[in-house]
Amino acid sequence: MTASPRANWNYPNPIRFGAGRISELADACRAVGLSAPLIVTDPFLATQPMTKAALAQLVAAGLKAALFSDIKPNPVETNIYRGLVALKAGGHDGVVAFGGGSALDAGKVIAFMAGQTRPMWDFEDVGDWWTRADPNGILPIIAVPTTAGTGAEVGRAGVITQEATHTKKVIFHPLMMPKITICDPELTVGMPPHITAGTGLDALAHCIEAYCAPGYHPMADGIAVEGIRLVKEYLPRAFKDGADLEARANMMSAAAMGATAFQKGLGAIHALSHPLGALYDTHHGLTNAVFMPYVLVYNREVITPKIERLAAYLGLEATFPAFLEWVLTLRKDLGVPHTLAGLKVDAARFDEMSTMAPNDPTAGGNPVPIDKGSARKLYEVALAGKL
């Protein structure tokens, strides 16, 4: 077995990549001027040895560190406000976002909102709304992913649910990009197989949607294509053997690549998934995986030439059906349900969801436009399992 890779990168932000790099957390904090970091994580990780070790490392280095973990799996605005209270009460000067996508998103938004006077929703990723923010009030962020899926560790935004409307909204600012990211695959070794599958398929969804999104961005396309290859080669291995550090490391790379590539755009997989996450609190990556083949078929007429090139690169027969069959087989092998029923979702809220999906900020990146009617049909076929 090949050893786990190790490297320092500066794209899209400074990244310290490799097994054991979590030992550099205190050094990373000092490098960006933090003396009192707040670790933002989720309630489960707050109890785990690796999180306690990270906190102990910071304290031993003489940093005034503390832990905040009141974060839901799909973060809501109340989590952000409580985090801000903890941040200010402890006199913290920055955030260590530590965990999966929920903790990373929440940590970044807490650091962003620390010095703002306007409501959080004034900074939704709409037009140039980010220019409303006071950049001097944004605290430094160190990102430490413990899963391999969302890629939030290399992103400039956080997804937060507005509780009044049960709608997921994207809060964006260029300075929300972490100052340093530590990608240590050893932190992902304890992920159970179903989380490995869900997060890994989230990375796949990011890469596929970025690659298929309309517009000219060959750099994003290239990153997405190689990210898909890494998922194809290493996700089954990581799922089968969670201690396979080579597989874990390459899935961490694929996750970061997906989030780097999707600056080009996402699409209907995410637009359909976000309402489910907001209304049913489903796992984001797993929900994306359920919708993936239905959206591919919906977009087939437009994306076939690109999918044929992608299939050839992956060593598959260079056809759309061969690629679709690979996706279906991968989902099945990883235990992903084929229909929405497997997520305990029925048709009761389809009207509501069909209104929400086309208005999601990711919908505009879909190769074939979606409206309320087409969103409803996609929900229906995903419930019925019809391709």
Tell me the pLDDT of the chain averaged across its residues: 97
Task: Give the residue ranges of DSSP H helices in the chain.
Answer: 25-31, 43-46, 49-60, 77-89, 101-113, 193-212, 218-240, 245-261, 268-280, 284-298, 300-313, 320-333, 350-359, 372-384
d(CA 46, CA 344): 28
pLDDT (tens digit per residue) in 256-284: 999 999 999 999 999 999 999 999 999 99
What residues does 229 pair with on adjacent strands?
none
- The answer to whether residue 1 scores a pLDDT higher than 60 is no
What is the C-alpha to C-alpha distance for residues 376 and 158, in angstroms, rounded to an integer?
27
Q: What is residue 68's three-state secondary structure? A: strand
pLDDT for the residue 2: 62
Structural domains in the chain plus CATH codes: 7-187 (3.40.50.1970), 192-384 (1.20.1090.10)
Q: Considering only CA atoms, which of 177, 170, 131 is closest in space to residue 156?
A: 177
Looking at residue 135, what DSSP letter applies? Answer: G
What confidence tens digit (pLDDT) does each residue in 27-71 have? 999 999 999 999 999 999 999 999 999 999 999 999 999 999 999
Pairing of strands 157-162, 167-172: antiparallel
Quick one: DSSP state of residue 137?
A: G
Q: Are 8 and 66 a contacting pair, CB within 8 Å?
A: no
| Nearest in space to 73 (alpha carbons), one of 265, 374, 283, 340 | 283
Residue 4 has pLDDT above 90, yes or no: no
Rg of the chain (C-alpha set): 20
Torsion angles phi and psi, residue 153, rounded to 5: -70, -10
Question: What pLDDT does 62 receive?
Answer: 98
The reported pTM is: 0.95
User: What number is the average pLDDT over the span 316-345?
Assistant: 98
Check residue 3 and give its pLDDT.
76
Share of the chain above pLDDT 70, in %: 99
State how far the Cα of 131 lies from the Cα of 113, in Å rounded to an integer: 14
Query: Is 123:112 a contact under the CB 8 Å cutoff?
Result: yes
Over range 178-205, report the average pLDDT.
97
Residues sharing a CB contact under 8 Å with residue 72, sequence separation 6 or more, in sequence order:
79, 102, 281
